[in-house]
A and B are shown apart, each in its own frame.
Chain A
Amino acid sequence: MTTSRNQLHLGVAIDGHGAHPAAWRTLDDAAARGLWDGTVTTRHAQRAAQGLLDFVTLDDALAVQDGGEGRLRGRVDALLTLAKVGPLTSGVGLIPTITTTHTEPFNVSKNIATLDWVSLGRGGWRVEVSTSTAEADHFGRHQPMSEAEAWAEAADAVEVVRRLWDSWEDDAIIRDRPTGRFIDRDRVHYIDFEGARFNVRGPSIVPRSPQGQPLVLVDACGQAATTLAVATADLIVIDAETGAAAHERVSALRTALSDAGRDPAEVFILVRADVVFGATSYEASARLAVLDRHEPWAAHPGRLRRLGTACAFAELAMDWQAEHDINGFVLAPAVLATDLGRIVDELVPTLQAAGGFRKQYTGVTLREHFGLARPTSRYATASAGSS
């Protein structure tokens, strides 16, 4: 076991102004509007980096958000937003959602590889599918897919993306003046993926990125998504309302991972949690009550939600890690401006004091935060003999 397994890993969802549907109403108008140019998101990512968090996630979809006039509506592309954030931050990992149902795996591969280049090794990918009729109508290429169908296709997309990330070996660029060769083409590989739904020839146009393989995050909600998570995810995010539920879920996943021939030590299981913090438990509840008066924050079935002090959450986190074999949490703060501050200023120091969280970034890449080595390209051995 690597030392990082004794440490908690923390990610935070920095979507909009917070996970509560009325989060934007706590801000003045200008701040509520200032989402599109990425400044709000940059500020939140910088705050997360101050707290030495492992990563931030930014969600995306190919349609306007549901919920009507009272909800925050409108998007800017999550990958491009985090690309802007990349050079303006250091330390914190950057994980945008990119859906696979209506996009090209070749493009997804070069997008995330390039995010990894511009952030010097902090890129990741949260895989998601599109099953809505609205999204299908925006592309007009096929009827909406079922969850099962869409996730099966996503599995092909992830396989293609991972192969493309490996299609250039690390030392493929040789710039050899005597022979005039810029690359050693024995070290650049066709991937020749042939699936039920599409084929991709390769190689990528992007040389292998700083991490080699950026981290792939999958929310294991539902059977189809769980299958993909077990097959290929580096970070698996689960819902669990109680320690017992987490325990059961984690042991099932670890068994499945072993059965799939994967090293369970190289896969990290994180619990998603809605959080509302206050100086006291009462204050946290009062804050939520004020927000809920605008619009109630519907609880996601089976998802952990905690109102209270950051200190109390720290206790829960360390307890779940010790007792239930989880590796950490992905926090969805009700209001980022408030709750992210409490995470950085209170939750993290409490965990640090208890020896449960890093006191500084010990690496520069996202993989390093998880103690994961930089993998050799899957194609490297093939050419080692011939070159």
Chain B
Amino acid sequence: MSTSRKQIHLAAHFPGVNSTTVWSDPASGSQIDFASFVHLAQTAERGKFDFFFLAEGLRLREHRGRIFDLDVVGRPDSLTVLAALAGLTTRLGLAGTLNTTFNEPFELARQFASLDHLSGGRAAWNAVTSPDSFTGENFRRGGFLDPADRYERATEFIATVRQLWDSWDDDAVLADAYHGVFVPDDRIHPFSHSGAEFDIHGQFDVPRSPQGQPVQIQAGDSDGGRELASRYADVIFSRHASLREGKAFFDDVKGRLAKYGRLPSDLKIIPAATVVLGDTEAEATERARHLREQQVSPQGAIAFLEQIWGRDLSDHDPDGPLPTFDPDAAGLASITRGRVRHEKDPFAVATKWREVAEANQLSIRGLIIEMTTRTAFVGTALQVADRIDEYVQSDAADGYILVPHLTPHGLDDFVDTVVPLLQERGSYRADYTGTTLRDHLDLRVPARVADGSAE
């Protein structure tokens, strides 16, 4: 096996609450039953993936004042599911999103340190920030955060959590029955943090975990998010899965690492991607087209359009033309809640969409299918393996987090057919060479910072 080839990192995202998930297909199983999580996690482990990832939702999304019912709705708690999977997997990393706005450092630090212990060093935390008072209505502390402060809180939160993770000596637990000393007093170091967001002190209650510090993931795409990731993250997710955009993102983020004294290999860049396979290219293309139709139902297309137009369009025919009138700017702020918005200027979007629809003779649904197509690896197993390898070797990414369309069998074919091809060319591990997620990601174990002073 060639050792000079850059190694690909793969992760699996359990398909849940988003329009990638095709729940209406007869082959789609439960998004809630634990058995579905077990199957996908064990499939990912069979494929020697680095980790399995669960996103978070803390408030059911609403559209036009009611709970949005056209995508998958509801999910079990991520951390609890990951802990349950720890006993049914042995090498697979277990990653979950937890919000820095609606949690406290002490509790979150003990949860991830616990998961790291329970999994023998396989835990990862995707830190996200959320300023919205909509979600805050489910929490006693409410939504108190000024959007401008969200990265400041996240930065202070992460620094504090790291201090807690480092507060026990590596070898603190002596368990010396003869002398009757379980943990010597001087091996648990007190912590103290006083900042704008948190003022806490005391003793952390979880011994230092197998990875020292669970792996840190970030997903921010803004300048603030990229900077935070460059400073703290071990893995960054991105939406830039194409070759050109991927390379630009890769260069930008890796270029920021030096000023924090970090090496390019200290941060792995893993865009989200979907895969559609076929025995022939034509079959894969046809399957991808069919999937897009399933993902965008007639009702879903109207709801999507309403998010841009900011008003009720239920009297429009999904197979008919786009509205001739302009978006309602006043309605935009409230029409959809609990969803991340990517469209900044609805008037520009509406103009562009009308042009595209007219030029290509597209109906509302046809247009939504066209405009929301995600970057996907579509083709035969060989073509997909070639492209993933090419993208990684040319530094458009360090690997990909795959979002399957179907639950829970959506990655079966990929693992059976694409993974062996990647292994053959020496770009992907034939088997796990280590036991921890840090091992899989080729990350150093951080030395404990004695009396770490989080700034």
> Interface residues, chain A, CB within 8 Å of chain B?
22, 24-29, 32-33, 36-38, 42, 61-65, 68-77, 79-81, 83-88, 102-107, 110-111, 113-115, 117-118, 120, 134, 137-141, 168, 173, 175, 177, 179-185, 188, 197-203, 205-207, 294-295
Contact = CB atoms under 8 A, between A and B. Distances in A.
A84 B82 CA distance: 8
B117 A76 contact: yes
Contacts of B106: 62, 138-139
Nearest to B32: A207
Given A36-B207, A177-B24, A197 B140 contact: yes
B180 A25 contact: yes
Contacts of B111: 77, 80
A202 B201 CA distance: 32
A80 B115 contact: yes
A20 B445 CA distance: 37
B415 interface: no
A139 B104 contact: yes
A183 B201 contact: no
Given A24-B175, A120-B34, A180-B24, A83 B83 contact: yes
Contacts of A197: 140
Contact of A74 (B38, B138, B183, B184): B183
Contacts of B66: 185
A71 B200 CA distance: 25
Give the 7 A-B CB pairs with smallest separation, nearest first.
A198-B140, A114-B80, A180-B297, A118-B84, A32-B175, A83-B83, A77-B114
Contacts of A203: 60, 67
Interface string B71-114: 11111110111011011100000000000001010110011011
Contacts of A69: 180-185
Given A118-B34, A205-B75, A137 B201 contact: yes
A206 B74 contact: yes
B120 A37 contact: yes
Contact of A110 (B77, B141, B297): B77
Contact of A106 (B58, B87, B203): B58
Interface residues of B, number: 75
A117 B202 contact: no
B280 interface: no
B207 A74 contact: yes
B214 interface: no
A220 to B, nearest CB: 25
Contacts of B86: 38, 84
Interface string B37-67: 0100000000000000000011110000011
B185 A68 contact: yes
28 contacts: A24-B177, A25-B177, A26-B177, A29-B176, A38-B87, A62-B107, A62-B110, A64-B204, A73-B182, A76-B114, A79-B80, A80-B115, A86-B84, A87-B34, A102-B104, A107-B77, A111-B79, A138-B106, A141-B141, A173-B73, A179-B299, A180-B70, A180-B297, A185-B66, A198-B140, A200-B138, A200-B139, A294-B180
Contact of A182 (B73, B180, B188): B73
> Counting chain B CB atoms within 10 Å of each CB, which of A71, A83, A200 scores highest?
A83
Nearest to B136: A201
A331 to B, nearest CB: 24
Contact of A140 (B110, B177, B200, B300): B200
Given A32-B177, A80-B118, A180-B297, A137 B32 contact: no
Given A24-B177, A33-B175, A114-B80, A104 B102 contact: yes
A296 to B, nearest CB: 13
Contacts of A200: 137-140
A68 B203 CA distance: 13
A69 B185 CA distance: 6
A71 B182 contact: yes
Contacts of B75: 205-206
A183 B73 contact: yes
Nearest to A83: B83
A25 B115 CA distance: 26
B182 A137 contact: no
A206 B173 contact: no
Contacts of A177: 24
Given A37-B119, A62-B106, A107-B77, 14 more contacts: A26-B177, A68-B185, A74-B173, A76-B113, A77-B111, A80-B111, A80-B114, A106-B138, A106-B139, A114-B77, A138-B201, A139-B104, A141-B104, A199-B137
Contacts of A117: 32-34, 76, 81
A19 to B, nearest CB: 16
A88 B87 contact: yes
> Counting chain A CB atoms within 10 Å of each CB, which of B67, B77, B202 scores highest?
B77
B315 interface: no
Contacts of A27: 177
Contacts of B152: none
Contacts of B76: 110, 113-114, 117-118, 206
A87 B38 contact: yes
A84 B74 contact: no
Contacts of B139: 104, 106, 200
A193 B152 CA distance: 31
A28 B138 CA distance: 47
B173 to A, nearest CB: 5
Contacts of A88: 87-88
Given A182-B23, A183-B69, A183-B73, A140 B205 contact: no
A287 to B, nearest CB: 16
> Counting chain B CB atoms within 10 Å of each CB, which of A105, A179, A183 scores highest?
A183
Contacts of B180: 22, 25, 69-70, 294-295
B278 interface: no
A65 B87 CA distance: 26
Contact of A113 (B77, B202, B205): B77
A294 to B, nearest CB: 6
Given A37-B117, A183-B67, A87 B87 contact: yes
Contacts of A198: 140
